[in-house]
Homo-oligomer: A and B are copies of this chain.
Amino acid sequence: MNMANITKKVSWSSRGDDSARGEATPLLNGTEEVRYTRQPSGGLFHISRLSTVDLEEEITSEEDSVRTRPNMIPHNEKLLSLKYESLDYDNIENQLFLEEERRMSHMGFRCLEISRWVICGLIGFLTGLIACFIDIVVEKLAGIKYIVVKQNIEKFTEVGGLSISLILWAVLNSSLVMVGAIIVAFFEPIAAGSGIPQIKCYLNGVKIPRVVRLKTLMVKVFGVICSVAGGLAVGKEGPMIHSGAVVAAGVSQGRSTSLKKDFKIFEYFRRDTEKRDFVSAGAAAGVSAAFGAPVGGVLFSLEEGASFWNQMLTWRIFFASMISTFTLNFFLSIYNNKTGDLSNPGLINFGRFDSDSVAYNLYEIPLFIIMGAIGGLLGALFNFLNYWLTIFRIRYVHRPCLQVIEAMLVAAVTATVSFTMIYFSNDCQPLGQDQTKDDYPLQLFCADGEYNSMATAFFNTPERSVRSLFHNPPGSYNPLTLGLFTLTYFFLACWTYGLTVSAGVFIPSLLIGAAWGRLFGILLSYFTSGSSQIWADPGKYALIGAAAQLGGIVRMTLSLTVIMVEATGNVTFGLPIMLVLMTAKIVGDYFAEGLYDIHIKLQSVPFLHYEAPATSHWLTAREVMSSPVTCFNKVEKVGTIVNTLSNTSTNHNGFPVVIQIPDSDEPGMVCGLILRSQLIVLLKHKVFVERARTRLSQRKLQLKDFRDAYPRFPPIQSIHVSQDERECMMDLSEFMNPTPYTVPQETSLPRVFKLFRALGLRHLLVVDSENRVVGLVTRKDLARYHMGKHGLEELQLAQT
């Protein structure tokens, strides 16, 4: 293959602009690193090569066919989308960067380190404040709603006509949810859901458009308030993780692009590497605020994001987490008139589990494992149902107004079902002394001094219901109530997750699990009545059930264990919780994937796991890479660069810079790598030299120019290059990364994968034995391979 071939034989794709959104405008969606005239690689194993074939056909066809394509490709977990760009965790160590680093004194580095700590402190503080705000507003709103409905119910219980109460309840819920759904559906669809899958992707290195913007944060916060206060089967915890991440991305950059305000601080941190570190801290702070689990937060960030563990970074993340819980705690203690009492962390508070009252014993461990298996089964069922529901939604409920209507419908149905359950329940319990002022016991048809037990589960915020299930004394619920509650809430929660409202799935999962766990405990104590006092506490089983159900749905491992342990405030339950989560994961994985993974796959995100599939040693870089590669010379003609960048069918984001061997058709030797974004900045500032090598631009380009443009680089179309300028040359040597990582062609896929993942790369060059570029490996080339039911499978690629 000759050089002309390499620069010209490029594949189709659409332009990269991450401000465009959704599938309605496919041509505006960013794609990257697409080079799809793949070399024939032989049929070593059973892999569908449909994508490649499709793509090669596409090259000959017109752009119009590309335009119509997206509608034909439904969201599908067997596809990998090309619309997502990657974050680059590898510093671009070009001459400018090295000069800056070399100029910096030891003191300078120390100041940077201190700024990092300050930023982490700020992240923690702001995240804590947001959590505090959400908590207080939700409590207030829900309080008003429940009091109004309760008074109405009490009024109508005697005289009849409770249907009016039902309608009141349903209307209140629907209108709150409507507001929440409208802001999400019309203003910022990315704020829908818990945001955890999106943050997982971000930390994994995928640039999800608009995910860490200020507007997203606003919509998220108000959306979650509306949906929780609107009585949906959702929690306010998941969204905290997303909120923390947005706060981090904003604070660390020292400016807001949305508000057009640049504080001229923290400019050093305006690159992917640093930003991603801060976003890790933000996500951890979010977990910490949500669950009062600073260590859990750190582990969450590490589990999802860490490619390379760094002690100081982790320590800073921990600091952000600590500050976040502390802030939340402190302000809530003021709000609750117990200023300075800091011993009650987290938005969700499981209440105190004292070791003495709920000690477990060796012979209970098999029971816990059985509960784990049940949790895994129920979780898989939940995920399976939700999967089909999501497919349905993607196909039929994709217009914003339809989405709002669905959300309102779910809100109304939730209210109706709850009301019906409460109405027909005849589980009356004596009104104890331990009801706090914020509980809303419903008397309904119970005798005076008694309350309706079903109502403690349904007529309450889910957080309170969980706490009641954990701590109410034995006998507070009868088994039928719990059974019915589990059943209805399971389906409600399943229906709710994936609605166009911002809300989390943690609390509903815990609630379902706590309900059946408590039921399990009660049944146990029936069967073993009187034999041992230790069975007496169903609250312990509620806790284990909650862990099992949550584990079965989300399939997180270490971080979830620690979060649960921290939320219970009791270290002794570590082992049972761990065993339960392990069992739930193993059983669940057998039937269906975790909920977040399902949603990530349905978005066709090129997500990289920790390791390459076990049986992928067959594959080498040669088969995996995309080739041929569009390369530039060290001093390249401006016209060539503009043409390459403008060509919508060659939307590459990284270009090897090569030294061409004179009078040779062979590919050039690698001498660097330059990114599209860098070239765009160069073109914008017209850093051209004439053929005679006199510099045309007056000013020497500095790192600052690149940082100012980060992260929203203008599209190539917005840059005007005159015909004269096109004839100039551009000297890339100062700006390219002169030492990109390379691998030989024979490197096995696991080895390529390890290098790529451990260093968080975006582009990895494949070279031959004489250091000539023969291909390029990007995220999608690696993410395509995964373990399917029939061994190694290759995903297709789609540009939606």
Contact = CB atoms under 8 A, between A and B. Distances in A.
17 contacts: A93-B747, A101-B617, A106-B787, A109-B614, A295-B565, A311-B557, A319-B578, A325-B574, A326-B575, A330-B362, A340-B361, A340-B362, A342-B359, A566-B571, A669-B769, A770-B770, A771-B771
Contact of A751 (B93, B106, B748): B93
Contacts of A503: none
B361 A106 contact: no
Nearest to A304: B311
Contact of A569 (B319, B345, B570): B570
A178 interface: no
Interface string A103-117: 011100100000000
Interface of A: 91, 93, 98, 101-102, 104-106, 109, 292, 294-295, 298, 302-303, 306-312, 314-315, 318-319, 322, 325-326, 330, 339-343, 345, 352, 355-356, 359-363, 557-558, 561-562, 565-566, 569-572, 574-575, 578, 582, 610-611, 614-615, 617-618, 659, 669-671, 738-739, 741-744, 746-748, 751, 754-755, 757-759, 767, 769-771, 787, 791
Nearest to A109: B614
A309 B302 CA distance: 8
A312 B610 contact: yes
Contacts of A562: 295
A325 B98 CA distance: 49
A738 B312 CA distance: 35
Nearest to A768: B771
B615 A105 contact: yes
A343 B572 contact: yes
A587 to B, nearest CB: 16
Given A310-B611, A359-B343, A739-B743, A322 B93 contact: no
A281 B339 CA distance: 43
A617 to B, nearest CB: 4
Nearest to A105: B615
Contacts of A104: 614-615
B342 A363 contact: no
A547 to B, nearest CB: 14
Max chain B Cβ within 10 angstroms of own Cβ: one of A343, A741, A754 = A343
A311 B318 contact: no
A307 B309 contact: yes
A451 B191 CA distance: 67
Contacts of A109: 614-615
Given A571-B569, A614-B106, A767-B771, A557 B308 contact: no
Contacts of A102: 617-618
Contacts of A311: 303, 557-558, 610
A613 to B, nearest CB: 9
Nearest to A578: B322
Shortest Cβ-Cβ A-B pairs, 7 listed: A109-B614, A101-B617, A771-B771, A739-B747, A306-B309, A343-B572, A340-B361
A719 to B, nearest CB: 31
A574 B294 contact: yes
Contacts of A322: 574-575, 578
Contacts of A570: 569
Given A295-B562, A345-B571, A739-B751, 5 more contacts: A93-B748, A104-B615, A109-B614, A306-B309, A738-B744
A312 B303 CA distance: 10
A203 to B, nearest CB: 12
Contacts of A345: 571-572
A233 to B, nearest CB: 28
B759 A754 contact: yes
Contacts of A561: 318
A548 to B, nearest CB: 17
A164 B104 CA distance: 68
A732 to B, nearest CB: 15
A769 B106 contact: no
A566 B296 CA distance: 13
A634 to B, nearest CB: 12
A660 to B, nearest CB: 13
A296 B618 CA distance: 39
